[in-house]
Structure 1
Amino acid sequence: MTGISSVAPWIPSLILLPLAAGSLSFLFGPRSSLGLVAATPVGIGFALIQLLLEFNDTGLQHYPVGSWGSPLGIEFRADGLSLVMLGMTATVGIFISLYALGYFSGEQAGGVWFWPLWWFLWAALNALFLSADLFNLYVTLELLSLSAAGLVTLSGEWESLAAGLRYLLAALAGSLAYLMGVALLYGAYGTLSLELMAGLIRPEPANALAASLITVGLLLKTALFPLHFWLPPAHGSALPPVSALLSGLVIKASFYMLLRLWFEVFPSALTPVFAQGIGILGAIAVFSGAWLAFHQEKLKMLIAWSTVAQIGYLFLTFPLASASPAGALTALSGGVYLALSHAMAKAALFLAAGAMLKVTGEDRIDRLEGVGRHLPVSLFAFAIAGVSLMGLPPSGGFIAKWLLLDAALATGQWWWAVVLILGSLLTAAYIFRVLRRCFLAPPEHAVFHSVPVVMPIAAFSLAGIALLLGLTAVFPLRLLEKSAPYVAEAAIPFTVVP
């Protein structure tokens, strides 16, 4: 990245704090969860604020582990994009942790192992967003996948065990493809540093093969159509706080890596055919995911298929950002901001759904009558989160889709604008299907249970943040602009239309 760079001593704490929390939680069990939830997010938040202040003052932040920087040692790096993703993880993680305190307060299965796995997953996410070389990205992605696969199986039911095994096998296959691509690049260039490799990659057959292997592996982990087969069962059968983690945070990690690699390391391979092909897969995901979400009978499966659709929007960033230098920053900002707003909204949807399921004791949408009367806060959170997913103002989803629309029209790619608009209408269809059922009068024999007050409050807070992102977009977008020179210098633009 151009500009000033400085050593940031706060970077290790963003990784070590959740690692320590996971170890303590493993040793002392659920009784330590309250103290860790009170202390760990505070420490992470303080370190993140300090890192943000230093970034605003001096630019790119880095930390050489053991005082050995790249290419000989391991180095962590934080720019505007990293900070946005770290802030997203911290915000979603705090409210999911509060929700989990209420959700696992009784005899709910899985509470013993949720906390250590969750803290390790948080550490892996932070390490991934700070990694500055291809192998560290692989290591952190593996830690993330193993923690996530364990979380999927927490309920102990046959359905979740099968979904967790399917997810683990898909993740391992994706990691193997990624690692083979990394090995090819290391054999060719003798370095794995993102910054050093950005100036070395040339359009050669071996590089094209390496880029293809890495991309297929990461697309499998992101669950882009047609590699999405593992996602709906895993997200739909997991416990609600786990589903929120998987959909809100975990899939963003591999998308973040794809952005980093294609716009920093492989820009010369970003051909019109590839970019438009990725966009087409995203468009198919938008329509097929929304259609299947609308026809689901179970609430959590509806939200899981909605994630398949929302992932499709993220990959519209590639054809829009690579079409011309003028629209690159707008499209990249729109794609990242969509990931940010989706993390808040989708986590809120799953948390609200979890509260609804506890109240009714049912996962079927046709059994949700009366929820609006007995659980108004969670239903309101579901509705607000749906507003962001639909892309209605003044939500963060509206700002993100507006940026993507602007990039589509500015580059003459009007067909992606059509996908964005029609996809939003389909999103409204399945969101309103759930809301309509919840506002119906309950049957006379219906029994409603109570839920801890922290559960609807956590869902409502995340939904409110998804809405406020539309009113406070200036600050995150400025952070992304500070990462733009690093992307723009490496990018080799092409023209899609005359």
Structure 2
Amino acid sequence: MNSLIGADWAAWSVIAPLAGAVLAALWPRSGPLLGMVVSVFAVLVSAGAALGVWHDGPARAGLGGWEVPLGIALHLDGLSALMLLMTAVVGFAVSVYALAYIRPGSGRDKFWPLWLWLWASMNGLYLSGDAFNLYVALELLGLAAVAMVALAGGAAALTAAMRYLLVSLLGSLAYLMGVALLYASHGVLDLALLGQVMGDEPATRLAAALMTAGLLMKTALFPLHVWLAPAHGSAPAPVSAVLSALVVKASFYLILRLWLDVFPQPEGSAFALLMGALGAAALLWGSLLALRAQRLKRVVAYSTVAQLGYLLLAFPLMLAVPAAWHAVVFFALAHACAKAAVFMAAGSLQRSAGHDRLAGLGGVMRREPMTLFALGIAGASLVGLPLTGGFIAKWLLVEAAIQGQAWGWALLVLVGGLLSGAYVFRVLGHGFIRDLAVTQHHPVPALMSWSVLALALVSVALGFAGAPALELLTRHGGEGS
């Protein structure tokens, strides 16, 4: 293991939140303290992992000293290190926000164990190099996310959680069936070994189709998005931020990892064009729903459906520009920071006004200028305005499309930016309507306001950090780099 931090040390990004979850369940009153300690530790370890990959390249180790094929491999490269760092930064901001948002007696005792458990599951998924171990992490991630959706209580939250659970289980079952087919055909589950021995036989194609379809369900990509808006709209604001910014990215990360490192590239362009068409449909349909929604959290949830469509553009763009997936990963980073900030700002406004109806939020927005400012900054990144991470991400997508002479995909990115501008400015416009009637206003705690603003500023800082992030992605351990 020649990495500065190595896959062995990066495993602490799984062990620490897992231990924190157990301790928070045993001593509920210590949950907030444990959550913050784990958050700080996760940022440090993730930054160290990224630096290790930057200096020494990818690292690989067998869990518990058992080497492949007997043991489970932990794999750390530029892609997984960047996902760990993204999760740590967003997770830290969400944890700080939750300190003030989650009140005693309102699910605080349950939030922290579930949140740390979910965090451990995501990090385990990013580091695992074994197809079955990935299934275990994916299942734990889904169960924790479903439980967090139900934290709000009430019929709407429980109904949304049950719908999410059914879709999650169906997606997991499809993925597991694909894993079983791969093991029956090749006798190994290690991703690196599978990538070496896998051919283009019918069993492999069926396994790839099952695993991809199952992961698309969990990612809520069109037309498998029916669970997302009810789940994100009903959940508490910190949970909505985590689901939209991180959880759906984890399953997409796995899709990308499998097609980069494991599955043979399909002959012809039919598969890539199908994925691109689904992405285009998601972008257009999600934007339309966001434009029609009358509640703030529903607008933000449907915008997630739309923005996730950009992720699928990796497949048609890679036909002409193999490294186009770098732009998609950077888009995922920029979207995670901006979308978490937007959901947290929406939760602050909802807490302050007692509702999230757009028609009645204007007065509260004016009385909470810091929250409105943070919402505007994060929204600018979602739109892709200059000096934001979203602008760099969409510029890279357009550049890849032009380089590959895929003019239609370049036009789609630009149209998506216009549509996102329409629903973002529709929300922000309520803060400038000169209607001073405010039926209810509770001041937003400073901790919530500052954490939202800090994360929104991170989405701007990404506009100046594109080069290091893209350079880190070149330290990829598979064939797709």
TM over 0.5: yes
Q: Counterparts of 1:106 and 1:375 in 2: how far apart (Å)?
A: 24
On the 8 A contact 1:10/1:50 being kept in 2, the answer is no
Three-state SS of the structure 1 residue aligned to 2:60 is strand
Deviations 1:102-137, CA, capped at 9 Å, x for gaps: 001355x22221110000000001100000011111
Q: Counterparts of 1:456 and 1:72 in 2: how far apart (Å)?
A: 49
Q: Which residue of 2 aligns with 1:240?
A: 237
What letter matches 2:322 in structure 1?
Answer: A
Runs of at least 5 residues in structure 2 that lack an aligned partner in the other structure: none
Tell me the CA shift for residue 37 of structure 1.
3.2
Q: Counterparts of 1:8 and 1:292 in 2: how far apart (Å)?
A: 42
Q: Which residue of 2 aligns with 1:278?
A: 275
Q: Counterparts of 1:64 and 1:103 in 2: how far apart (Å)?
A: 40
Q: Which residue of 1 aligns with 2:480?
A: 488
Deviations 1:189-217, CA, capped at 9 Å, x for gaps: 11111111112111111111111000110
Q: Which residue of 1 aligns with 2:315?
A: 318
Q: Counterparts of 1:68 and 1:336 in 2: how far apart (Å)?
A: 31
> Which residues in structure 2 correspond to 1:131-150 (within 5 Å)?
131-150=128-147
On the 8 A contact 2:47/2:85 being kept in 1, the answer is no
Tell me the CA shift for residue 436 of structure 1.
0.7
1:57 alignment partner, one of 55, 58, 62:
55
Tell me the CA shift for residue 41 of structure 1.
1.9
> Which residues in structure 2 correspond to 1:77-476 (within 5 Å)?
77-105=75-103, 107=105, 109-269=106-266, 271-321=268-318, 323-324=319-320, 327-329=321-323, 331-444=324-437, 446-476=439-469
Tell me the CA shift for residue 440 of structure 1.
1.8
Q: Counterparts of 1:351 and 1:488 in 2: how far apart (Å)?
A: 35
What letter matches 2:211 in structure 1?
Answer: I
The more displaced of 52-61 and 461-470 is 52-61
Report the TM-score when normalising by structure 1. Answer: 0.94
Q: Counterparts of 1:82 and 1:8 in 2: how far apart (Å)?
A: 11
CA RMSD in angstroms comes to 1.6
Q: Counterparts of 1:232 and 1:411 in 2: how far apart (Å)?
A: 34
On the 8 A contact 1:96/1:244 being kept in 2, the answer is yes
Count of paired positions:
480
Q: Which residue of 2 aligns with 1:496?
A: none
What letter matches 1:468 in structure 2?
Answer: A
| CA gap 1:8/1:423 in 2 versus in 1, 3 angstroms | closer
The more displaced of 143-152 and 378-387 is 378-387
Three-state SS of the structure 1 residue aligned to 2:61 is strand
Q: Which residue of 2 aligns with 1:14?
A: 13
On the 8 A contact 1:11/1:63 being kept in 2, the answer is no
Three-state SS of the structure 2 residue aligned to 1:77 is strand
On the 8 A contact 1:152/1:163 being kept in 2, the answer is yes
Three-state SS of the structure 2 residue aligned to 1:392 is coil
Runs of at least 5 residues in structure 1 that lack an aligned partner in the other structure: 490-498
> Which residues in structure 2 correspond to 1:14-53 (within 5 Å)?
14-29=13-28, 31-53=29-51
Deviations 1:46-70, CA, capped at 9 Å, x for gaps: 3223333332332212231121121
| CA gap 1:114/1:34 in 2 versus in 1, 3 angstroms | closer
Three-state SS of the structure 2 residue aligned to 1:199 is helix
What letter matches 1:407 in structure 2?
Answer: A
Tell me the CA shift for residue 5 of structure 1.
6.6
Q: Which residue of 2 aligns with 1:495?
A: none
Three-state SS of the structure 2 residue aligned to 1:415 is helix
On the 8 A contact 2:272/2:315 being kept in 1, the answer is yes
Tell me the CA shift for residue 270 of structure 1.
6.1
Three-state SS of the structure 1 residue aligned to 2:189 is coil
What letter matches 2:480 in structure 1?
Answer: A
What letter matches 2:264 in structure 1?
Answer: P
Q: Counterparts of 1:88 and 1:57 in 2: how far apart (Å)?
A: 19
Tell me the CA shift for residue 399 of structure 1.
1.0
Q: Counterparts of 2:167 and 2:267 in 1: how far apart (Å)?
A: 26
Q: Counterparts of 1:461 and 1:359 in 2: how far apart (Å)?
A: 20
Q: Counterparts of 1:207 and 1:350 in 2: how far apart (Å)?
A: 39
On the 8 A contact 2:36/2:92 being kept in 1, the answer is no
Three-state SS of the structure 1 residue aligned to 2:465 is coil
What letter matches 1:210 in structure 2?
Answer: A
| CA gap 1:227/1:270 in 2 versus in 1, 3 angstroms | farther
Identity of aligned residues (%): 47
Q: Counterparts of 1:150 and 1:247 in 2: how far apart (Å)?
A: 15
